Each structure stands twice: as C-alpha cells, then as structure tokens.
Amino acid sequence: SWHGEKAVMQVSTKSQYVLRAQEPKRVSLRTFPYSKETCSCTPAKIKDCVLGFFPILQWLPKYNFREYLLGDVMSGVIVGVLLVPQSIAYSLLAGLEPVYGLYTSFFSCIIYCIFGTSRHISVSIFGVVCLMLGQVVDREVERAGYQLEPAVPSALPGPGGHGNGTGNGTEPLCDSGCYAMAVAATVTFISGVYQVRVGFVSVYLSDSLLSGFVTGASITVLTSQVKYLLGLDIPRSGGVGSLITTWMNIFRNIHSTNICDLITSFLCFLVLVPAKELNERFKSKLKAPVPVELFVVVAATLASHFGKLKENYGSSISGHIPTGFLPPRPPVWTLIPSVALDAIPIAIIGFAITVSLSEMFAKKHGYSVRANQEMYAIGFCNIIPSFFHCFTTSAALAKTLVKESTGCRTQMSGMVTSLVILLVLLVIAPLPGWKLL
C-alpha cells in the first residue's frame, strides 16, 4: 500500500543517513592549504627561529653607528658609573661580599643584550630582589651553623676552590661568606628556571600589588642600611617581625655608634641629597645627570685609605676586592629542596617588574616587545650567571630612567656598561679601603 511504501522509504532514508554519518571523513591538505608549510622545517623557518631567540642578531647588523653610537656610549658609561656603588651596597643588602655585586652587574648586562627585546631597560641588581634573597641567605647560613656576619675578606674563594664546609659536597675551606654565596647562587639558578617556564604567573599580579610590595620593601631596605650608617655591630634579623626587631636592636645599641661612620654618612648625605635635587631640577638642561654617587664613593675611598679611618677610628670598610674573576662553580644542588619554595616569589616579582618596565618603555618609544622572549631573557640572566658567583637580577626602574634620559637607543649601551664594570674589576676595585656608604 501507499502507506507501507512510504514507511519503507523513511526507514531506508534514515538508515542511509546513519550509514553516511558513520563513514569516516577524509581530510586532504587542500582543506588546510597552509598546514604543510606550517608543519615543515625549512631553512627559512630555522633562520627565523634563531633570529627570534637571539634578538641581537636582528638589530646588530642594522646598527646605525652614526645615529646611535654616541647616545648608547654616553648612557652606558653613566649607568655603569652608577652601578658600581649600587652593586657594592646591594651585595651587602643580600648578605654577600661586595665583589659578587660587580660580577652580577657585569654578566646580566651582557646576557640581556643578547636575549632581550627591550631597547631601554637596564637589567642588573634590584634592591627589592636583593632584600628577598638576603632573607633566604640569612636563614640558610644560620641553619648551617654560621653567624649572620659578613665573611672576612681573606676568606673569599680564590682560584683554588670554593666550598661551604657543611657537608654538602663542597670543600671545607670556607666561611659564612662562601656559604652565603653558594646559597645565593642556588636560589638564583632555581629562580631562573622558574622564570623560563612559569613566568606567565606574573600577569595575575596587579600594579597595585606590585607598588605596595615595592614600597614596603623600600622601607625594609632603608632599615637594613641604618646599621652601616651608624657603624653598629648588630645581627641581621629575618622572618616575621624582622623590621621591628632590627629597629629594637638599633636603639638598644645606639650608644655604640661609631662617630667616624656617623660623620662620614652625614657628609655623604649632605652631598647626595642636594645633588639629586639639582639633577632633577635641571635635567632638561643637562645632557646627562651628574654622577655624584661615583664622586662620593671615590672621595670616601680616598679619605678612608689615606686617613687610615679603620686603623685609627674603627671605621667600617668593605675590605679587599679581588682582581679579575673567580673560577666558575655550579650551584649547590643539595640546597635545592631547602630553597625551591623561596625562589618562587623572587622569580615572579623579578619577571613581573621586568616585563612591566619593558612594555612601558616600548609603548613610550613606539616599538613592541615580546613577553615570551622577555621570559627567556630574564631567566637566562639568572641561570647562566649563577655559575659565575652571581645572584638574582631583574630590571630596575631608577637605572632604566637614567638610561633612557641619557640618550640610549639600543641595548649596545648594556655592552658599554659591562665594559665600565670590567674596568672597575680589573683596575679600580683592587685599590684598598673601599668605604661602606
């Protein structure tokens, strides 16, 4: 009947639909015309990959010496001059010998010049990161049985070796300064690994959070320097409430203030504060800010050396800074379980500040930066130097502003900064009597 034929036709149509739906679909390259090119490994793609991973290979062959060289050299020299006293001071903030700060500034400038995509930021020692690192170093040094005091200059590891003397597989000829550097290098290595792989976490940190953190850390940095300004011999405090504990120790020992250190600190402030205000007021008329910090360091060094302030008045000096570089040493791998968690906030803060500054100055000057490449750049700035007695680095706003205002056009200025620090390490640093400011 007609109804029966209609039912058979409907069943037949449904069965055909089911069979067609179950048939596997064949996808040809014509469906995706660019898939073959995307998945292929051609010499052009290899070249693009290498150039993308090493940005210096892109801009260095096109470097305009006539237009860029003068500004890069001027900014590199000025930033290098500013980095010398800051490297010494921030090393002490991290609980390390002054020479390690010079090593860190030297290597970080070179490595970021090779891997970085920002033309203006200055990657070197940053006070906030040094403060965070110093807390970890103090805890591990105290846990290992050492006192929280800087190592004597004669105990710096020489060409013969470097160890910690705590049974961690290193040589026994070492004091607290040696072990502190071993801890710092290990934290630096782990921080670099985190930054290479998990730097994306920093995008969840708001500007308000970073600003509040930097403000609080700045107060702590100032507090940690008071004992050097007064010449007090008080232990370094760590953990919760360390800020209050430090001020309590300062007031308990205020009667032991070294008058020579107090007068020296007052005279330095008497020069530094007005000079900073003058630089800020006349920055539009000055081609470059006056490096008054360098003049103060040189004057204090000469006064300390020829006036024999340490011998006659017990004034604090940083001690002997060895010439050249120490042999490379790997981090202490057995310390990784103890410092792995501490390296996470250090890595996140360092990467977040670096990316924020690079994007800010890129927008200001009309070029773009690649956040993924910045992740690799700041990671390598910590991983590679950790084998050369260096500690954690990141971009620093103050030095970046100086770098930009003095005519920086490319990261060639970072190479010039490294040459200035190399000159200090080979010629100037071995001079005795470096004064702690």
Residue 210 lies in a domain: yes
Nearest by Cα to 397 from 187, 220, 211? 211
Q: Give the bridge partners for 435, in sequence order.
A: 317
CA dihedral 371, 59, 417, 354 (to 10 degrees): -10
Residue 60 lies in a domain: no
Q: What does the pLDDT read at residue 338?
A: 92
Residue that is written with structure tokens 């620093």 in the block: 396
Residue 436 burial by CB count (10 A; 0-12/13-18/19+): exposed, middle or buried? buried
**Residue, of 206 and 72, whose pLDDT is higher:** 72
Q: 201 falls in which pLDDT band (50, 70, 90)?
A: low
Both structure tokens of 80 = 């290098």
Residue 2 lies in a domain: no
DSSP character string of 32-46: STTHHHHH---HHHH
Residue 33 lies in a domain: no
Q: What average pLDDT does this structure show over 148-168?
A: 44
CB atoms < 10 A from the CB of 275, how many?
17
Q: Give the bridge partners for 123, in sequence order.
A: 395
Q: Torsions phi, psi of 289, nearest 5? A: -65, 145
How many domains would you assign to the chain? Answer: 1
Give per-residue pLDDT as tens, 404-421. 877 888 999 999 999 999
Both structure tokens of 209 = 């959070």
Residue type, 262: L
Q: What does the pLDDT read at residue 299?
A: 84
State the chain's mean pLDDT as an integer: 79
Nearest by Cα to 140 from 192, 171, 179, 167? 179
Residue 19 lies in a domain: no
Give per-residue pLDDT as tens, 126-144. 888 888 898 899 889 888 8
CB-based contact 256:233 (threshold 8 Å): yes
How far, CA to CA in Å, does 422 sit from each of 4, 99, 153, 415, 418?
A: 98, 12, 20, 10, 6
Residue 436 lies in a domain: no
Q: Report how far residue 7's alpha carbon sits from residue 5's, in angstroms, rounded to the nearest whole number.
A: 5
What residue numbers bound the domain in which 258 lies?
71-428
Q: What does the pLDDT read at residue 150?
A: 47
Residue 244 lies in a domain: yes
DSSP character for 60?
Answer: S
Residue 59 lies in a domain: no
